[in-house]
Amino acid sequence: MQIEIKDIEEKKAAYVSVTGPYDQIPEILEEIVGYVTAENLQITEPPYGVYMNSPMEVSPEELQYEMGITFIGNANGEGRVKIKEILAHQAVSTVYKGPYGQAAQIYQALIEYANENNYNIAGPVKEIYLNNPMEVSENDLLTEVQFPVMKK
């Protein structure tokens, strides 16, 4: 596994904040993609999820997360879909291959790498879904996992 500190550029995102079970994720992503498509925005990277808490710590109804897609263009949001600026920052990052539910097993390795290289974790984990589960097997799914970091 290759871990690195990456510079993340400033970007805009269409997103939906959610409290509840993860089984809502496909319909939420469909809603966001529908909005971005209807607004003729140019998608700049695959969909992402930011996870504020863990199913190991809270019940499915208490899970808090955000699903989104970055884009180029102008938009104001509509309904549950909001728009925000993601500020430029650094992140400790790696790509995980395998089922989505098992990506969390590498979180600790990223945290240790950050600590060993004089960085503090500065926010919740972000997973970027690099390929489509409708097109590849579960074992071939690729997920970039990032934690925002700040130099100690």
Per-residue pLDDT of the chain (152 residues; tens, 9 = 90+): 899 999 999 999 999 999 999 999 999 999 999 999 999 999 999 999 999 999 889 999 999 999 999 999 999 999 999 999 999 999 999 999 999 888 878 999 999 999 999 999 999 999 999 998 889 999 999 999 999 999 99
Q: Helical H runs in 3-145?
A: 25-38, 107-116
Return the pLDDT at 133.
Answer: 87
**Sequence spans of domains, the chain:** 4-151
Q: What is the CATH number of domain 4-151?
A: 3.20.80.10
Return the pLDDT at 101.
Answer: 80
**Positive or negative: CA dihedral 130, 149, 107, 29:** negative
Return the pLDDT at 68.
Answer: 98
Return the pLDDT at 100.
Answer: 85
- Strand ranges (DSSP E) for the chain? 4-8, 11-19, 42-43, 48-51, 64-72, 82-86, 89-97, 119-121, 125-129, 142-151
